[in-house]
Each structure stands twice: as structure tokens, then as C-alpha cells.
Structure 1
Amino acid sequence: MERHERIAKAIAASGKKKGEIATACGVANSAVTQWISGESKSLRPENLYALAKATGFRAEWLAIGEGPEKESSEESNVIRIAQPAMYRYPVISWVSAGSWEEAVQPYPDGFSDRYEMSDYDSKGPAFWLEVKGDSMTAPTGTSVPEGMMILVDTEADVKPGKLVIAKLPASNEATFKKLVEDGGIRYLKPLNPAYKMVELDKDCRIIGVAVRMTGKL
């Protein structure tokens, strides 16, 4: 069951109208409609816990579908520690990332058949990429080796020092590099010193900023 389906079920079971849910969560009626339809890809922690309180369903179940839907009677006297909200983002290919700005809509139908969770609440549409090659593998300091997963926020602040996803005019795929600036000129710098920097000219597009990194053992 998708998150929006769980939310719709919880609201229907509560017997409350959308307006009542919106008031309880401190949002507009349209926001509740988007939660139910799945149009909204994120749900702020404060809204999630308010929704859980208003419907009687567990916040963890509403967010990621884990555990029972509601607290059992035996657990009613147990104080639970609040868990962070989780957000679901698609895992896409480097070619899809390279053509991101050309898409008619952020998440077109069939865009991805794989999704991963994160506690990061993105500023705009976001997606996961699996790192390829060793250009971002550094001998010391920050290193992002092949196989790591990076979460890219397409509306995060872009500034020197950030790890960014960019599209070079000579390639149909996106590239992953560190954005640096020297003498007023910006460059894409690999973390691996064996690779050369590339000047960020007018034909190069910054698609997003890497905001999370995770890997599998």
C-alpha cells in the first residue's frame, strides 16, 4: 500500500472531514487533498504527527507502512519516542538525471520502478543515483566511492563546496562532481586527484545538489 493510500484509509476510518483534518494539522484543505491523492511527495514531521493524532493511526505506519496501524490496548500506557518522518524518492539512471530539466513533469508515469526512503525533506523534486566509477573516490577526507547511493535535491542551494550533479554538453548523462570557484570562475572538481577539473561554462547545467549519501554492506 502506498503512503497516500494509507493516509486516505486513516482519514476515512476516522470519520472526519477533510476540513477537520486540515484544521487539526494546521494546513489548507488542498494540502490534505494532495496527501490523499499522492500529488504531494513530502509530509512534514509536525503534520505527520498531527495527522496521526487526528486519525488515531500510528505515525510510523502512515509514513512508511511499518508496524501495526494503531496502538494495541496493551501498548496504550507505553510512551513512544517520536520517530523522524521518512520520505520516498525514486532511484533513476544517470541518463534520466541528465535529461531532468527537459521532462514535462518531475515524476512522469513509469519514471522509476525502484524507490528508497530518506529522512531528508527535499526543497524540490529529488531522486537517488547510484555512483559509478572512481572519480569521486578520494584518498583522504570526503569520499564517495562507486556503489554508494546519493540523494539529489533539484532545488537545494547551489554554491561552491557542494557536491553537485551536472550535465555537460558533450554527454547525454549527468556527472557527479564538487563545485569549486577560483578567481571568479567555477569548476567541477573530482574528489579523485587522478581526474582533471572541468570549467563550468554557460552550456553546463547544474541539475541538483547531493544532500544525502548511503551505502550497502
Structure 2
Amino acid sequence: MRDLNIKNKDLVKATGASKGTVSQWIHGGNQPSAKYVSALALALEVNEQWLLKGGLIEHKKEIQTPFRTIKRIPLLSLQQAGEWSDIMDNQLTYVNTWINTADDVPRFAFAVEVEGDSMVQNGSGPSLSEGSIVIIDPELPVTSGLIVAAKLKGTDKITIKKLVIDGPNIYLVPLNQNYKSIQIDNLKSIIGVCIRLQINLV
């Protein structure tokens, strides 16, 4: 903040958080929740990884101003996400919660909060812990190996799993080996592709 001559009020404007919340962050009384991480990283011209883990600061030189690349996207419940294709054009009517993120997300992108531990794995690779926020692109082409959001038969909620296509067989595979894979009939149940993960800090 000193290097960029950023004041508390600038972070309030960039993130949409209250003055009290920003003050808590600055004075170490609290850490920002996941919905503010992208906006903070952009405002401070650093990457999200540095905000999460610290270390050597590497400024994002391509950013011209702290507030230029913020985009607001809807944070949906898993049930709302299952109905997203029906409400995309009227999202302002149906959505109560929004998060800030970089503006390179697609126009109909939305976010959901991960529930459970079926997508938590040990070792390298992505791991989606409970409470993490996943950004989903409903228009990206679906291919094997991607992490997707899918609506299963007999449920009004979505599940997040890795898509594996093995010949004529299609599976939704959890990263946690304690859970079983789910075979699906076709790709019509895929709601979208998970394109970004934001980690909850609290």
C-alpha cells in the first residue's frame, strides 16, 4: 500500500468491503475471505498466491491501475447453479450474493462454494477443499480431464467432479479416493467447466 500510495478508502472502493473490514485486514485483526482475494490482489498489483502464502512480492506489471480489472460475478448456491441456464439472462433478479474477480472471466461465469471433501486430494494437482469458491464457465467446451459442474438425475443440486471419458463410458471422478466415481449417460448433465479456484482464508 505504501509503495502504490493506496489508502484504506481505495481498498474499500476496489473490494466493496466495509471500512471496518478493511481496517481489520490492515491491522491484522482479521483475514480477507475468499470473495475479496481477487479484488485485493488486483488493487495491490500482486498475485493471489502471494496474498495467500506471502513471500517475495512480484508486482503484476501489466496492470495499469488498481481498479481497472475488477468484475462482479454471481455466487450461487449449488441448487441455483443447477438452474443457471434458465436464469442467466435475468441474473439480477435471482442473485443475492456477488463476488469480485478479474475481468477475464466469461460473460456468463458464476461461482459456487465447494461442499464436502470429495475433491480434496493428497499430493500434487488441484484440490478443492470445503469452503473454497470455484468459478465456472457454462459456455466452455467440455473435454475429458477437466473439472466440471454437473447436475445428476434425481437431484436439484450440482456436483463438482473431474470428467473422464473412456471410450463410450463417461464418468464423474472425485479426487478423493474415498469416494466412488459416478457414471453418466451423456454430457448433457454438465453445467459448466471449473476455470478458477479461490481459497477461503477464514
Give the direction of change, closer, same or farther, for the CA distance of 1:87–1:100 in structure 2 (3 Å limit).
same
Q: Does residue 1:212 correspond to 2:186, yes or no?
A: no
Provide the rounded CA distance (Å) in 2 between the counterparts of 1:193 and 1:133: 14
Q: Sequence identity, in percent? A: 35
Q: Which runs of 5+ in 2 are unaligned?
A: 1-42, 44-61
Aligned residues: 138
Provide the rounded CA distance (Å) in 1 between the counterparts of 2:63 and 2:173: 42
Q: Which residue in 1 is equivalent to 2:142? A: 158
Provide the rounded CA distance (Å) in 2 between the counterparts of 1:156 and 1:117: 21
Provide the rounded CA distance (Å) in 2 between the counterparts of 1:203 and 1:116: 28
Give the C-alpha shift of residue 183 in structure 1: 2.7
Matches within 5 A, 1:51-200: 82-83=64-65, 85-103=69-87, 105-141=88-124, 142-200=126-184
Provide the rounded CA distance (Å) in 2 between the counterparts of 1:140 and 1:204: 32
TM-score with structure 2 length normalisation? 0.62
Higher Cα radius of gyration: 1
Give the direction of change, closer, same or farther, for the CA distance of 1:184–1:206 in structure 2 (3 Å limit).
same
Provide the rounded CA distance (Å) in 2 between the counterparts of 1:159 and 1:120: 24
Contact 2:151 2:191 survives alignment (8 Å): yes
Provide the rounded CA distance (Å) in 2 between the counterparts of 1:148 and 1:172: 21
RCO greater where, 1 or 2, for CA within 8 Å and sep 6 or more?
2
Provide the rounded CA distance (Å) in 2 between the counterparts of 1:203 and 1:180: 11
Provide the rounded CA distance (Å) in 2 between the counterparts of 1:211 and 1:89: 13
Give the C-alpha shift of residue 124 in structure 1: 4.2
Q: How large is the Cα RMSD of the aligned pairs?
A: 2.2
Contact 2:73 2:110 survives alignment (8 Å): yes
TM-score with structure 1 length normalisation? 0.58
Give the direction of change, closer, same or farther, for the CA distance of 1:81–1:172 in structure 2 (3 Å limit).
closer
